[in-house]
Structure 1
Amino acid sequence: MRKVTPRALTDRPRVTVVIPCYNYGHFLAECLETVFADADQVDVDALIVDDASPDGSAEVARRIAAEDPRVTVIAHETNKRHIATYNEGLAAAEGEFVVLLSADDLLAKGSLARSAALLRAHPEVGLVYGFSRRFFDTPPPPRTGLRSWSIWDGPEWVARVTRTATNPIYTPEVMMRASTMRDLSGYDARLPHAADYHLWLRAGTRAAIGRVNGVDQAFYRVHGANMHTGEYSGDVLDVEQRHLTLRILFEEDGDRLPGAGRMRDDAYRALAREALILACRPYERGRPGAAEAEQLARLAELAGEIWPASEDSALRRTYERYAAGRGPVVPVPVTALRDRAVLHLGWRRWRHSGISPAVRSL
């Protein structure tokens, strides 16, 4: 990885922002206001793809498009689900660069210009990301001090990310070169919960990866209707989908990654460790109920499936002790304090570097 000094745009590249929408019509006006905030620096158009929303979102989108020629609308007659909706919009994008922005999320002022400037200055880069702030009702004031650009060789970035087996990118902060997106053919329907993670990793097998440092590039809205906090929530499903993502990546694109075998082993070991940590954690906070204990047992079982050597690890023995009723030696307040400290330090490292903290080997 190398840090480089940012450069300003010297032309006006075209950026298409694809906005998938399902029952988020009431967010569209605010979302689009942030999309066009950079129209003084880039030529930006928006494509809203409404997935047969029953709340009248398509009518809201059509009214907006009737008043702004930069906005076009695709409205499904029947619900096609999120992966098909994403891919349809991305396939129809006409800009040199493309952004996928959920209708409930927002862009930070200047983000399109900053990402486009990096892509323009470094033609080897196929994907740019940054930091996306989480918010509930009102987005916080953004950080505006552009510090640097990070440029990774693609396989180097893939190795860094898979070593932790976690996804360091939300989505609204990503801009991709349209040619890279076309090469990747969009999101993989086999991975309804982890298709974004898979797409970022595959991008790294084909192009360099860039990051805009020091500023907030987008705002990710947190609420009960989020795809990732609603239908597809659950630690078991999350671990299963990340395991499948990694397996597909190394089976289908491993020939593009030097040292793919070692990279795969590091990823599986890290994911198995995380599964065991997730299986242990509820016991450190109290005695889980029968239904929860069953899910925790499945996490421990998954760890063994992902990385068989984990069956002989200290973490596995800790889980078995907890599950047998020989609960944690450390008091609950102490473990809670430890978890908060680890979480906060990890978050700070992620915000600074763009890479999730490494998980220690089993």
Structure 2
Amino acid sequence: MSSVSVVIPCYRYGHYLADCVSSVVDTNPGVDVRVLIIDDASPDDSADKARAIAAADPRVEVLVHEQNKRHTATYNEGLMEWADGDYCVLLSADDLLTPGALTRAVALLDANPNVGFVYGHPVHFQHPGPPPPARTDDRGTSVWPGHWWLERRFREGTGCITSPEVVVRTKLQHQVGGYDVDLPHAGDIEMWMRLAAHADVGYVRADQAYYRLHGDNMSLTDYAGQLDDLRQRKAAYEAVLTRCGSLLPNAAELDAVVHRRLARFALRRVVRAYDRGRTTTVPLDELIEFAAECWPEYRSLPEYRGLRVRRQIGPAAMPYLQPLVLSAVAHKGREWLWWQSWKRRGI
């Protein structure tokens, strides 16, 4: 029977722990599961709740920090120092696994020694409501070459994994190392790509985890935060190339592809600010500077052509005229003709 080490970092999430641990130990037949809850010096009763769960189940252990070490150090402590099962999972205390998630992932990993990690579909649900029913019926699996999967991430410039739905081969996790402390908001993206540089990637066609949406989620949603997100993503891709570039025969191409992609993302956010009347709240200049940093020829990108039109129209009128303006990716000639006709009408 294959074994899985599940690390559950917890900071002020003690009220979620019972359901989280239950989703691991009670719904995965045929898997030898061990759980470590690491309380990162929570100021509430989270540590007491964790100890109570461990006292009732010998498969659960608890480690309590005397001082807060932050999330990345906590992740690495569990994965790199404690996890010793065949496979390992990092599961936030506010998330859940779907029934049979580990059983399905372990079956794929056992059957494919070349696969370094497995993921599936994450179900997002809004707190405090209950999670919806999970689709756990067997709809098959896929195994993709790691370099092919990694190249897709570079070409898309975004992550495709939420996080709790991932099961990693522990030997590979220890080989590639822990999470990067310099990437507090994109360390997971970098980690999946780093793993894919060394091994193939598996996918289970089922709901594998629940991701809880609530006000305390560690995400960047304001406009300044969105710029930070782009910067973190850029740093993540660059870190992968630094660490794993020697393993990738097309590293130079991937470097150019992702930097151009990130420049387009930044310019799209500037264009969207004009369309939605948010030019006073979105850091326009900083986003354009970021685009220039990523791709010095940013003025040749279709998004920049769209931005020029919006600047001519002006931020006051743009939200009202936006339905009439062609997409920023429209052909330059068509967009220019529209602008000329709009001026002639004297609107």
> How big is each residue's C-alpha offset from its partner over 1:241-287, in whole Å with a ceiling of 9 and x where there is no partner?
11111111112211111211111211111111111111111211225
> Which residue number corresponds to residue 198 of structure 1?
190
> Which residue number corresponds to residue 72 of structure 1?
61
Pick aligned residue for 2:134 from 142, 149, 155 = 142
Pick aligned residue for 1:93 from 69, 72, 83 = 83
The structural deviation recorded for 1:150 is: 1.3
Q: Give SS of 1:217's match.
A: strand
> How big is each residue's C-alpha offset from its partner over 1:331-359, in whole Å with a ceiling of 9 and x where there is no partner?
45678xx9xxxxxxxxxxxxxxxxxxxxx
Paired-residue identity, %: 45
Cα 1:143–1:332 change in 2 (3 A) is farther
Larger CA deviation: 323-332 vs 263-272: 323-332
> Which residue number corresponds to residue 15 of structure 1?
4
Pick aligned residue for 1:282 from 249, 264, 273 = 273
> How big is each residue's C-alpha offset from its partner over 1:269-311, in whole Å with a ceiling of 9 and x where there is no partner?
111111111111121122532xx24x12211210110111112
Question: What is the distance in 2 between the residues matched to 1:330 and 1:115?
Answer: 50
Q: CA RMSD in A?
A: 2.1
- Does the alignment pair 1:118 with 2:96? no
* Mapping for residues 1-362 of structure 1, pairs under 5 Å: 12-91=1-80, 92-136=82-126, 137-213=129-205, 215-229=206-220, 234-289=225-280, 292-293=281-282, 295-323=283-311, 326-327=314-315, 328=318, 331-332=321-322
Larger CA deviation: 252-261 vs 116-125: 252-261
Question: What is the distance in 2 between the residues matched to 1:334 and 1:71?
Answer: 59
Q: Greater relative contact order: 1 or 2 (C-alpha under 8 angstroms, separation 6 or more)?
A: 1
Question: What is the distance in 2 between the residues matched to 1:100 and 1:230?
Answer: 23
TM-score where L is the length of structure 2:
0.88
Question: What is the distance in 2 between the residues matched to 1:323 and 1:239?
Answer: 23
Question: What is the distance in 2 between the residues matched to 1:232 and 1:248?
Answer: 24
The structural deviation recorded for 1:134 is: 0.5
Tell me if the contact between 2:28 and 2:99 (Cα under 8 Å) persists in the aligned partners. Answer: no
Cα 1:64–1:230 change in 2 (3 A) is farther
- In the alignment, structure 2 segments of 5+ residues that lack a partner are 328-347
> Which residue number corresponds to residue 344 of structure 1?
none
Larger CA deviation: 191-200 vs 274-283: 274-283
TM-score where L is the length of structure 1:
0.84
Tell me if the contact between 2:35 and 2:59 (Cα under 8 Å) persists in the aligned partners. Answer: yes
- Number of matched pairs: 322
The structural deviation recorded for 1:230 is: 7.2
The structural deviation recorded for 1:234 is: 1.3
Question: What is the distance in 1 between the residues matched to 2:70 and 2:224?
Answer: 17
Question: What is the distance in 1 between the residues matched to 2:285 and 2:310?
Answer: 11
- In the alignment, structure 1 segments of 5+ residues that lack a partner are 1-11, 339-362
Task: Look at both structures and tell me which one has the larger radius of gyration over its CA atoms.
Answer: 2
The structural deviation recorded for 1:58 is: 0.8
The structural deviation recorded for 1:40 is: 2.4
